[in-house]
Amino acid sequence: MTSSSQSAEAPHNFRSVKSSQVVLKELMIPSYANFGGKVHGGIILSLMDKIAYTAAATHSRGYCVTASVDSVNFVNSVNVGELVTLMASVNYVGRSSMEVGIKVVSQDFKRGIEKHTNTSYFTMVAIDETTRESIPVPGLILENDKEIERFIWGKFRKQYKLDYKKQFHSMQDDLDMSREKQKLLNENCFVKSPNKSV
Ligand SMILES: CC(C)(COP(=O)(O)OP(=O)(O)OC[C@H]1O[C@@H](n2cnc3c(N)ncnc32)[C@H](O)[C@@H]1OP(=O)(O)O)[C@@H](O)C(=O)NCCC(=O)NCCS
């Protein structure tokens, strides 16, 4: 069964969104910072991967891998001494994949402000540890409009990524390298040892 929107009772193996929601808080210590005193983006990414795994593994009750990470745009920097809070929720599930939405905020105690750092989406896939093949995950029980809309957006993003992949591969096949080399004259680069064919 893939959908249960009309029935009163959800199938027994389906799980609610809130049953796998996770919150993770971490204080930003000096060893996380770069020379400018700002926290490395990689530290935040690592925390995001950790919370995405926790949410996906809680939903599927099994081992998962990170299949992809949607674009991550940091809209505010994070300073040492701030408390970073990550909130994760399984938005969408397919057969074996789960999209986990993650919101990251940072609290600056000294100035008494909270900043939105970024919102991103991780796709996690449930895996059989012996065969390494993807395996089915339980369906999601959607209990309000917000959860329904997040599920629809997750499905939309999955389709968008598949379409993008197809389009990119066809553009790659059509790429004319000699023509592109000519166009480098207009780019912000200097070709030191040009190939005679350029
Ligand atoms: C992710 C992985 C299991 C997918 O393998 P695959 O052969 O494409 O598996 P399948 O064809 O069975 O697809 C499984 C699901 O993953 C999804 N998927 C596969 N590649 C994906 C990608 N790049 N982005 C998002 N979803 C992806 C598919 O859409 C499918 O979803 P569905 O079952 O909900 O419809 C495999 O590529 C893998 O193991 N990658 C390494 C993961 C890893 O080690 N991550 C940590 C990096 S350090």
User: What is the block-wise mean pLDDT of the chain (198 residues), using blocks of 10 residues?
Assistant: 62 95 98 94 98 98 97 95 98 98 96 96 98 98 98 98 96 93 92 67
Give residue 6's pLDDT.
57
Give residue 194's pLDDT.
60
Give residue 4's pLDDT.
47
Cα distance between residue 155 and residue 108, in whole Å: 35
d(CA 155, ligand 1 centre) in Å: 15
d(CA 129, ligand 1 centre) in Å: 14
d(CA 125, ligand 1 centre) in Å: 6
**Given the structure tokens 């690592």, which residue do they identify?**
46
> Strands of 97-108's sheet, edge to edge?
22-27, 83-93, 97-108, 113-126, 64-69
* pTM of the shown model: 0.92
Cα distance between residue 105 and residue 113, in whole Å: 10
Classify domain 15-143 at the CATH class level.
alpha beta
Which pair of structure tokens corresponds to residue 61? 């009750």
Give residue 12's pLDDT.
86
Query: 33 near 40, Cβ under 8 Å?
Result: yes
Task: Please name which of 85, 80, 56 lies closest in space to residue 69, comparing C-alpha atoms.
Answer: 56
Which pair of structure tokens corresponds to residue 79? 């300073």
